Chains A and B, each alone.
Chain A
Amino acid sequence: MASKKSAASKTQSSSSNAPPNMSHFSVESMKMIGESIGVSALSDEASRLIADDVLYRLKLIIQESEKFAGHAKRRKVIAKDIDDALKVKNIEPLYGIKNEEHIPFRFASGGGRELYFIEEKEIDLGEVITSTAFPKLPQDVALKSHWLSIEGIQPAIPENPPPVEKELQRKESVDPAFTLRNNAVDSSKIGLMQDKRKKHVEMVRVKQYATHELSVEQQLYYKEITEACVGSDETRRSEALQSLTADSGLHQMLPRLCTFISEGVKVNVVQNNLALLIYLMRMVKALLENQTLYLEKYLHEIIPTVITCIVSKQLCMRPDIDNHWALRDFASRLLSQVCKNFNTSTNNVQTRITRLLSRALDNDKLPLSSQYGALSALCELGPEVQRAFVYKRLPAIGEKIRQVIEGGGNSVEKSAADHIKNLILRVIPPTLKASIFPTLRSPPDVLEEYKTEFGYLGPSLHAAVVRSRNVSTPIIPQIGGQQLSSSTVNYIGTGQSSNLRQPITLASGSRLQMPTSLNSSQVFNPPRRPNPTVIPQSNQQRFVILNNSPRQITNQGQFIKLLPGSSISSSTTQGQKYVVMHASSHQQQKVDEVMIIETPK
């Protein structure tokens, strides 16, 4: 029986994709099957004839079973279909083969024979009966309803696929002409409708432009989200961040959100507003985790922002007391996440970032706080990077720390030096220990060697390595660093790690002023600049930026077009003039603070 089973299943897998004439049964397997049912000494000739016929019959059965798969609305033929086909052919089905997606065959050989079989484990029924832990019941069928479309428009809810597929987002960003083409189709349709509705308005042929507008709902959402993210209410913030992480329809707002973040960081770095910087970084994290966004397009904004938060000289009002180190650590992890997610052979993100940071480390005049950031970011990039870029600089860094600690700088410098030392002692020993790096050796660890190699930091490193070797629980090498980092990223997001939460509680506690809303906050300027990617590079394309006042925005839908022909104060290089035409309601109103209109030549 077992061999019969395996034979049947074997053809199932082989003949479904192989061309019909390619599959065959060997004479040996026929003989073996014969033996298993008590027919011994089959002649070669007979076996071959049987093999041919069996093959033909099996093919017929498989062709038949395809019908059952079709009626079960499946693309794949499964074991049950074969059973049904056998039943239709008036053959007893093979019992005991389940509808598993993958039937694993075991292979055994011996005595010059090869065997494929399905392993069947013996189950001790007594054990099953007496055991208290019953397997979980499978979940029952359930019915769940949602709106797939409301009057022709698909609502962006988790039950529906993201309105614009990631792949499409990618296509749009890589090939701007694609968007234009689509718009051309749309606008021709709109044009038709407009023709019908208001003949009396003189229609001027408008050059194509890539519209970039938000619906009222999207504007409201944007406002709510940004306010919640930087506001004082922690629960609202976590809700907002949750929305940024999980919602599928954000891609249209993405440029604005990115600009919001980058502008926010620029302003707040100058203002040394640590709390807000942390909030903004948490927004970055949320966006990074959103599976439906195609973030590649905005890396040029995100990466500088994140790096700023890592290496900036001063991030808070009182560098000696505030824990800006946590922000630097957090941002470092984000950076390594960006590298992991987006590094490709064409953009070389990781290489470029590594180069930037390691150059920064080389700079002698670099303030200690920045040095800490650069170091922490490099360490986050993994053991390979540490070995290549960090190890050789350890003596120099050690020397600097020594000077500060022994020679006495101010308290700020001292605390910075302390942090650097702690950082190194935290990060380096695990990789050092597990290293297969040629200059490093396995135990015994000789203190002198460490001293010569790492200078001032040598003894402490040595002590740390020896200690960790002695601790019986091994620190997971290599991946350990990454695991640690990703889990701590979560902590800061969910506010579970008391250590890392410190800056936040501290900030909301007393000193720092929290902006209650966007409007009242001087610190926070909504983005005033368009997305830098669309800033004109040549005369081929021109961009006009209109600043609409918020009052206009809330009006009924306004549709603004730029028409060549008459004047408006927009600055265009070629001196071509534009007029802004206000037409009455026919589109979703646009407009964020900034509207970008692109006019290709």
Chain B
Amino acid sequence: MEVVNSEVKVEPEIVVSNGEVKEESEKKGTDKETLLAVIQVCKKFNLKETEEILKKEANLTEDEVKELTSASIDHDVNITNVLSTYKSEGDPDLYAESFRKLIKFVETSLDVYKHELITIQYPIFVHMYLELVYNNHEEQASKFMSKFGPLQEDYYQDDIKKLAVVVKREHMKGNEIIDNFRSGHSLFTVRLSRDTYNYLKRYLQENANILSVVQNIIQEHLFLDIYEGMTRSKQQVESSVGGVMGEASRQANKARVYYGLLKEPEINITIPDDDADDNNPENVGEGEKPKKKKAKKDPLLCKKSRNDPNAPPNNRIPLPELRDAEKLDKVTAMREATKRLKLGPESLPSICFYTLLNAGNHHNTAALCVEISEDSHLLASGYSDSTIRVWSLTPIKLKSMKSAEELELIDKEADDVLFRMMDEKNTTDMKILHGHNGPVYAVSFSPDRTLLLSCSEDSTIRLWSLQTWTNLCAYKGHCFPVWDIRFSPHGYYFVSASHDRTARLWATDCHQPLRLFAGHISDVDCVQFHPNSNYVASGSTDRTVRLWDVLNGQCVRLFTGHKARIYTLAFTTCGRFLVSAGADKKIIFWDLAHGYLIAELSGHHDTIYSLCFSRDGVMLASGGNDDCIKLWDIARLLDELDVEDINMSQTPVVRTNTENILLGSYRTKSTSILCLHFTRRNLLLSAGIFH
């Protein structure tokens, strides 16, 4: 240990996990830049006085201003500055030599350290390559790439292919991957245990003359997150690596997450007692009064008032009040729930499959997404020809509202005014919604089923009324294709994911986003609301899953471990776990409480596009491009994992054995699965396209 201590001084300090300091310095930098931009604007519009005052207030000297302005006057110049960290006079042949040496060192190291040390290879490889390219050693760079590129882990090969495209200094500007690697605010993160770190450090010091290149890169471009305690096992390391920018540092997952469910806002339970039918207006009247009393304040009156310590307060996020119709619906839902099939390994759900015909990949109208409403009455799907089609899955046909002239004739005092508003004569099985100007990538029903959201390649989000069957609003905020859209389980809010690398939170009555969740370094591909509406999860092409707090827009969890793009997310019904899956064909379980990866289910052999939990949460259905629906026994998985034992101090063992968890696997006839949905009674509905 003493040796180590003395060493620390000698060695140029490696950036150790000290998030706060880093952040501060970063802030300073950005502040200055902002000020500078303002000053520039002032100069541009000749607002001298303002400029003077601003300078004074910000304590900026003339020199500083000049220096900074000159640096950022030209964007190109700015980039050169950033990239200039790659400038080195080093011998280009030294790179291959020292990288070979590093590989050898990692390979010959003790097994305990080996697995963690392997993770350091890739970032060093990338930065070495970029340095070579930057310094115009084209030939050496391509040799370096062809020699060591294939040695990197499989899941990095896609990135390496993208990297290999860059062969000239001019290419380095505006390339997504290089932007990520060179940007200061997200350094490639490598997690090492204290022991591994010391071991590495000693080695680097001993061979300082040859490995100086490596040392420089580690200093400048890597963020080593050192943790105390046991070095992780091979399996633990392998399951959590794979992110474009390395692993999540421990710091990123420290914040507390209120993963518990909200207390049910009490609906007068007197209604469900009698076998009243839902259309009886008297019952509606009855239900109204007690609700008003309670909705003001008094959520504690509810019957299931066991206080979940992990639940957020009900008013943490302002939620819309329930309307009468929604209350009735809740009651029906609860009644249905009592008739629910109890699932288990011995009682598997039946699966009803809806096939979309003539909508295969090579049709002009290819179905891209399917969504089934919560009560399983409606099915909506978006198509590549910009249309949306809505089907009724029950014998009840789709009605639209009467025309304005006819509506005027209706007696507004009538009890069944809602019923009278609808045109009973012209009903159809299917409605088509036109409005988008590009492929529709996702649709989402509002919980009360009167609204539908859709998002498209044309970068708009549209809100549709399912009563008038018209477009109510187009939300224009994203400036690139919008990949996914999701209504909050409580309605009113919705969240979108886009190619512009942000996820955004919206409210239906506001044309601008309420929150902007920025942090992913590549496309955000999918989003999902937490059942308590307080959090939003997002999955991205950067192979990470993030959890965002709706309240303050901060990222409270960062999960790495996926090895490819993530296409779908689902929360367990209890709200504690998040499940994600995507192009790497694996389903990964994340524990929100402590931020750990706890299980990895593999079995699919193509991209997974849909995940769904049964209503009682004991079963998970998954499906995708491999034309197969799989059912997983979640009750058993969580039982065996002993979730109560998970704590902050020790990284839990990752469960990968899926032998007893997989309950069934149902192949379709060359029909890929776009959507899975459990009905209130636990019948599994599924939809896909035949090709």
Contact = CB atoms under 8 A, between A and B. Distances in A.
A367 B474 CA distance: 88
B483 interface: yes
Nearest to B166: A56
B355 A146 contact: yes
A147 interface: yes
A380 interface: no
B148 interface: no
Interface stretch (A136-144, A523-531, A544-552, A590-598): A136-144
B159 to A, nearest CB: 10
B629 interface: yes
Nearest to B691: A74
Contacts of A160: 667-669
Interface in A143-200: 143-152, 154, 159-161
A70 B356 contact: no
A458 to B, nearest CB: 57
Contact of B672 (A56, A67, A73, A100): A73
Interface in A254-308: none
B175 A144 contact: no
Given A56-B166, A143-B379, A161-B668, A72 B353 contact: no
Interface of B: 142, 146, 161-162, 164-168, 170-171, 175, 347-359, 361-368, 379, 383-384, 389, 391, 430, 438-439, 441, 457, 480-481, 483, 499, 523, 525, 541, 565, 567, 583, 606-607, 609, 625, 629, 663-664, 666-669, 672, 674, 686, 689
Nearest to B438: A84
A157 to B, nearest CB: 10
A88 B142 contact: no
Given A84-B481, A151-B348, 5 more contacts: A100-B362, A139-B357, A146-B352, A146-B353, A159-B353
27 contacts: A21-B146, A67-B541, A72-B441, A73-B609, A73-B674, A73-B689, A84-B457, A139-B357, A140-B358, A141-B356, A141-B357, A141-B359, A142-B356, A142-B358, A144-B355, A145-B353, A146-B353, A147-B353, A148-B352, A148-B629, A149-B351, A150-B350, A151-B350, A152-B350, A152-B663, A154-B666, A159-B353
Given A71-B483, A99-B362, A56 B168 contact: yes
A533 interface: no
Contacts of A140: 358
A138 B383 CA distance: 15
B391 A143 contact: yes
A561 interface: no
A160 B170 CA distance: 55
A147 B667 contact: no
A72 B366 contact: yes
Interface string A42-81: 0000000000110010011001000110111111101010
Given A73-B368, A141-B383, A88 B499 contact: yes
Given A70-B567, A142-B357, A147-B352, A56 B165 contact: yes
A20 interface: yes
A148 B686 contact: yes
B354 A145 contact: yes
Nearest to A80: B384
A547 to B, nearest CB: 35
A70 B523 CA distance: 12
A20 B583 contact: no
A122 interface: no
A84 to B, nearest CB: 6
A138 B363 CA distance: 9
Interface in A98-151: 99-101, 138-151
A159 B355 CA distance: 10
Nearest to B353: A148
A148 B352 CA distance: 6
A99 B499 contact: no
Interface string A321-358: 00000000000000000000000000000000000000
B668 to A, nearest CB: 6
A52 B168 contact: yes
B525 A71 contact: yes
B350 to A, nearest CB: 5
A56 to B, nearest CB: 5
Contact of A141 (B349, B358, B483): B358
A142 B668 CA distance: 18
B366 A149 contact: no
A68 B499 CA distance: 10
A53 B169 CA distance: 11
A84 B480 CA distance: 10
Nearest to B629: A148
Contacts of A101: 362
A141 B666 contact: no
Interface of A: 20-21, 52-53, 56, 59-60, 63, 67-68, 70-76, 78, 80, 84, 87-88, 99-101, 138-152, 154, 159-161
Contacts of B351: 147-149
Given A56-B167, A56-B168, A73-B609, A148 B666 contact: yes
Nearest to B484: A71
A71 B664 contact: no
A460 to B, nearest CB: 54
Contacts of B167: 52, 56
A460 B352 CA distance: 66
Contacts of B347: 151-152
A99 B362 CA distance: 7
User: Which of A53, A76, A101, A141 has the most chain B CB atoms closer than 10 A to its own CB?
Assistant: A141
A60 to B, nearest CB: 7
Given A20-B164, A75-B625, A142-B356, A70 B565 contact: yes
Nearest to B663: A152
Contacts of B364: 99, 138
A154 B565 CA distance: 32
Contacts of B142: 21
Contacts of A53: 168, 170
Contacts of B441: 71-72
B164 A21 contact: yes
For the complex of A and B, the 4 pairs showing the least CB-CB separation, nearest first, are A152-B348, A148-B353, A148-B351, A149-B351
A457 to B, nearest CB: 54
A59 B163 CA distance: 11
Contact of A149 (B348, B483, B625): B348
A167 to B, nearest CB: 13
Nearest to A57: B171
Nearest to B357: A142
A88 B355 contact: no
User: Which of B347, B565, B609, B669 has the most chain A CB atoms closer than 10 A to its own CB?
Assistant: B669
A186 B362 CA distance: 41
A142 to B, nearest CB: 5
A508 to B, nearest CB: 39
Nearest to A157: B669
A75 B670 CA distance: 14
A143 B354 contact: yes
B401 to A, nearest CB: 24
A72 B384 contact: yes
Nearest to B383: A141
A76 B625 CA distance: 12
A76 B361 contact: yes
B370 to A, nearest CB: 10
A70 B583 contact: yes
Nearest to A159: B669
Contacts of B583: 70
Contact of A152 (B356, B383, B439, B664): B664
Given A88-B499, A148-B686, A141 B350 contact: no
A67 B438 CA distance: 15
A149 B350 contact: yes
Contacts of A142: 356-358
Contacts of B365: 141
Contacts of A68: 457, 481
Nearest to B392: A143
A88 B361 contact: no
Contact of B389 (A73, A75, A141): A141
